[in-house]
């Protein structure tokens, strides 16, 4: 009964979702919604990686953030019992040493630019990347494109420039918004950050079904 309506929508292809292996890096304002959406859609083999604990300042945008002070991966292990959790700091060394081979899709929902660049170089074929969801409030501006066709987002531009310097010219998918910054600092709105996560979930589902 749990997946009845998903099965009605996806038909025989639903089994592809059940067999897909997805890795989510960062389960904050974007990644937590990717996790929730995939879990509710029948993807049973999900691994999440995060090192943070919930802070009261997360409560405007993050699933699970009522558990202030608790580890994010520990909380999500309770909320989504079938997932695999890795409590680890995601840095460039971690990316270099981690084995991405078992996963069909890698979702980058963490915030560190150097890590994003390292991920692009190592697993671009599997990668779906989130950039620039903060400081915005118009979810209708969200777009999906390859990294080379992103526009209007400072983080995406920086990633493009760094990849060009490294003579990296491969494609990977990016969810971004060209909406201009509406504030300084780290202001955020769940209508946009959550929509980023749901958009990424949709892209994951489409890629799995095509495969």
Structure tokens given for 9: 């929508």
**d(Cα 98, Cα 167) in Å, to the nearest integer?**
23
Please give the helix or strand (H or E) that residue 86 lies within, else none.
strand 84-87
**d(Cα 15, Cα 209) in Å, to the nearest integer?**
9
For residue 177, CA distances in Å to 32, 95, 125, 155, 210 come to 19, 26, 22, 11, 25
Predicted pLDDT of residue 189: 98
Coil, helix or strand at residue 129? strand
User: What is the Cα 29 distance to its own chain's centre?
Assistant: 9
Mean pLDDT of the 180-209 span = 97
**d(Cα 156, Cα 172) in Å, to the nearest integer?**
12
Which residues face 47 on adjacent strands?
23, 84
**d(Cα 168, Cα 162) in Å, to the nearest integer?**
9
Q: 47 near 24, Cβ under 8 Å? A: yes
% of the chain at pLDDT higher than 90: 98
pLDDT in tens, 120-179: 999 999 999 999 999 999 999 999 999 999 999 999 999 999 999 999 999 999 999 999
Work out the end-to-end distance of the chain between its first and last CA atoms, rounded to an integer number of angstroms. Answer: 26
**If pLDDT is split at 50, 70 and 90, which confidence band does 192 have?**
very high
**d(Cα 49, Cα 38) in Å, to the nearest integer?**
15
Predicted pLDDT of residue 170: 97
**d(Cα 197, Cα 109) in Å, to the nearest integer?**
8
Predicted pLDDT of residue 1: 86
**If pLDDT is split at 50, 70 and 90, which confidence band does 87 have?**
very high
Mean pLDDT of the 100-128 span = 98
Indicate the average pLDDT of the chain: 97
Give yes or no for residue 211 having a pLDDT over 90: no
Q: Which pTM does this prediction carry?
A: 0.97
């Amino acid at each position: 009964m749990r997946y009845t309506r998903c099965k009605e929508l996806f038909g025989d292809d639903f089994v592809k979702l059940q067999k897909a292996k997805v890795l989510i890096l960062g389960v904050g304002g974007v990644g937590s919604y990717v996790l929730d959406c995939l879990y509710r859609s029948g993807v049973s083999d999900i691994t999440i990686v995060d090192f943070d604990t919930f802070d009261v300042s997360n409560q405007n945008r993050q699933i699970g953030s009522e558990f202030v002070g608790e580890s994010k991966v520990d909380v999500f292990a309770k909320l989504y019992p079938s997932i695999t959790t890795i409590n680890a700091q995601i840095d460039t060394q971690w990316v270099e040493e981690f084995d991405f081979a078992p996963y069909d899709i890698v979702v980058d929902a963490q915030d560190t630019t150097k890590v994003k660049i390292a991920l692009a170089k190592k697993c671009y074929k599997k990668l779906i990347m989130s950039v620039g969801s903060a400081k915005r409030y118009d979810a209708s501006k969200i777009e999906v494109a390859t990294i080379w066709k992103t526009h209007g987002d400072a983080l995406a531009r920086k990633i493009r420039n760094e990849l060009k310097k490294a003579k990296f010219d491969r494609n990977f998918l990016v969810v971004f918004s060209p909406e201009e910054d509406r504030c300084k600092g780290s202001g955020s709105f769940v209508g946009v950050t959550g929509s980023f996560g749901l958009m990424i979930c949709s892209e994951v589902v489409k890629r799995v079904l095509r495969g």
